[in-house]
Structure 1
Amino acid sequence: MTTRTGATLLARLGFAARGIVYWIVGWFAIDAALRGGKVGDNQGAIASLADEPFGEVLLGLMAAGLAGYALWRLTEALTDPEARAKSLKGAFRRAGHAISGIAHVILAWTAARLAMHTTSAGGRVGGEESTHDWTAWLLDQPLGRGLVALVACGLIAAAAQQAKKAWDGGFVRELSAGAPIPAHVCTIGRIGYGARALVFALIAVFFATAAWAANASKVGGMAHALATLQRQSGGQWLLAATGLGFIAFGVYSMVEARWRRITVDLPA
């Protein structure tokens, strides 16, 4: 097996791992909406696998898949295999790939630590505390408020990109050519991207507020965004709908695991 083939297989495993994470987070959201429990985030979803049968094996596979996905995204950001950086839009896409790659490195590391028993489950692996910590670190740097504001801008751009995908369904062009794409596949993807756009936009608001107030406690991640929806008027239905959207995104991630067109610019 060549290095390129191995990297491609890991990337596909990564799409599947991402799908499982979104299924779990979506189910947590629906359960919280129906029974009033606590919502979770993607790191908490990974931690929940630790107590399942063959949890160590599942976590090891998740770590490998998420690491492969991170490698692919970072490779896209660094080498630009599809020559997207010739425009400002392309440069923003590469920046988005870099951010996605870094985020999935963190998720892969979380899964690996749990698989090797270097940390414990039970809600202590969630991303909210780490988000507060690194935001506080940014605020302590020169021009720290500006740095946090840049993070907010990046999240706004990511939310806009997700919303655009939900609106025009152009993401199906990233699937392998050769067969017509069923309409229901596009619909599932649109629902999933729409849910992600909403949550990314809320997280962007949290970071913008933290930058304005110079207060790291104002930030929040996915769990905080879902909890915010839960507290709104009609929040039960908003949260349940978002949870269904995340499950739809998980389903589409599985479609991508099989049919996504993947370009890996690595030596053979």
Structure 2
Amino acid sequence: MTAAGRAGFAARGLIYVLVGVIALQIAFGGEDGGKQADRGGALTELADKPLGSAMLWIVGIALAGMALWRLSEAVVGAAGPDGTKLSKRASSAGRFVFYAFVSYSVLSYAAGDKGSGSGSSDQHTDDVTAMVLKWPAGEWLVGIAGAGVVIAGLWIAVRAVQKKFRKHLRTGEMSPRTERVTDVLGVTGGAARGIVFGVAGVFAIVAAVQHQPGKAKGMDDTLRSFRDLPAGPWLLALIALGLAAFGVFSWFMARWRRI
């Protein structure tokens, strides 16, 4: 489980670093050949590199390891004095489902299903929103989901700024310099990630209020929306650097996280 969890953090870090790099290119390079600043775009970018196919398999298997580790936390409890609390186990179960789905999509893409892991998050968001809006009380369901994403984004950002991640790290084994770098990466990366989540949630609420599924945005369109603001390219660049920082922070987690 230790090896599986650490491999998962390393794979997550690679995806976020690639998303950050693509977003940075979009900030100052226009559409940049239609690249997507989301997980699908990161996988496509990885596939185009030397040994890309092998790397996709490695990332998919590593994410499966992350899912397996989260499942073990849900079953027997996580590390730490409160790791067996019902809320912690439920959270781990939710993360297991998420990483199992992501792993499956990456492995399907590696196996040749190009419409799986590389699919556009924006199109997927539009399709799901349009489907839900057709349901009875669909506007309320989309609005509530959007509000939940906004709250999740704020929760992620606030916890990052408060350095809540430190309780999961073996800080006593770090050098002072490593500890300082980890704090900077954790705060900036978590804050940027929370901001992106929060803004995506706002777009979902707008889609619900206006009954227009196209108003909901996936990660790529959410990031591009920053570019349309005053000083947008620079704002998007800051967010992009923050997401890349979260990726590097995930690598630090792979090394120093208590598992």
The two structures have a TM-score, normalised by structure 2, of: 0.86
- Answer yes or no: is the 8 Å Cα contact 1:47–1:125 preserved in 2: no
CA gap of 1:78–1:140, structure 2 versus 1, over 3 A, is: farther
Q: Does 1:112 align with 2:113?
A: no
2:254 is the alignment partner of 1:260: no
The correspondence for 1:174, drawn from 151, 168, 179, is 168
Q: 2:21 is matched with which residue?
A: 27
Residues 1:94 and 1:34: Cα distance change in structure 2 (over 3 Å): farther
Q: Give the AA of the match of 2:122.
A: E
CA distance 1:152–1:28, shift in 2 (3 Å): same
Describe the shift of the 1:72–1:150 C-alpha distance in structure 2 as closer, same or farther (beyond 3 A): farther
1:81-135 Cα deviation digits (max 9, x unpaired)? 41344xxxxx4x66655554444333322211221112269x9622111122222
1:68 matches 2:65: yes
CA distance in structure 2 between the aligned counterparts of 1:47 and 1:138, rounded to whole angstroms:
29
Given the superposition, is the C-alpha separation of residues 74 and 219 from structure 1 closer, same or farther in structure 2, using an over 3 Å criterion?
farther
Partner amino acid, structure 2, of 1:159: G
**C-alpha distance in 2, partners of 1:155/1:116?**
32
Tell me the residue number matched to 1:83: 84
**Aligned equivalents of 2:204, 2:7: Cα separation in 1:** 31
Give the direction of change, closer, same or farther, for the CA distance of 1:100–1:209 in structure 2 (3 Å limit): farther
C-alpha distance in structure 2 between counterparts of 1:250 and 1:261, whole Å: 18
Matched, 1:132 2:126: yes
Structure 1-normalised TM-score? Answer: 0.83
Contact 2:123–2:218 (CA<8 Å) still a contact in 1?
no
Aligned pairs (5 A) from 1:36-55: 36-38=30-32, 39-55=36-52
Q: For this pair of structures, how many residues does the alignment match?
A: 249
What is the aligned partner in structure 2 of residue 144 from structure 1? 138
- 1:110–1:125 contact (8 Å) kept in structure 2: no
Which sections of structure 2, spanning at least 5 residues, go unmatched?
none
Alpha carbons of structure 1 residues 50 and 18: separation in structure 2 relative to 1, 3 Å: same
Alignment partner of 1:223 is 2:224: no
Offset at 1:30?
1.0
**Aligned residue identity for 1:14:** G
Moved more, 145-154 or 108-117: 145-154
- CA displacement, residues 177-230 of structure 1 (integer Å, 9 cap, x when unaligned): 542562221011101011111101111101111222233222111111100001
**Segment drifting more, 217-226 vs 16-25:** 217-226
- 1: distance between equivalents of 2:9 and 2:184? 18
Tell me by how many angstroms 1:257 deviates. Answer: 0.9
- 1:187 aligns with 184
Describe the SS at the equivalent of 1:232: coil
Unaligned stretches of 5+ in structure 1?
1-6, 86-90, 263-268
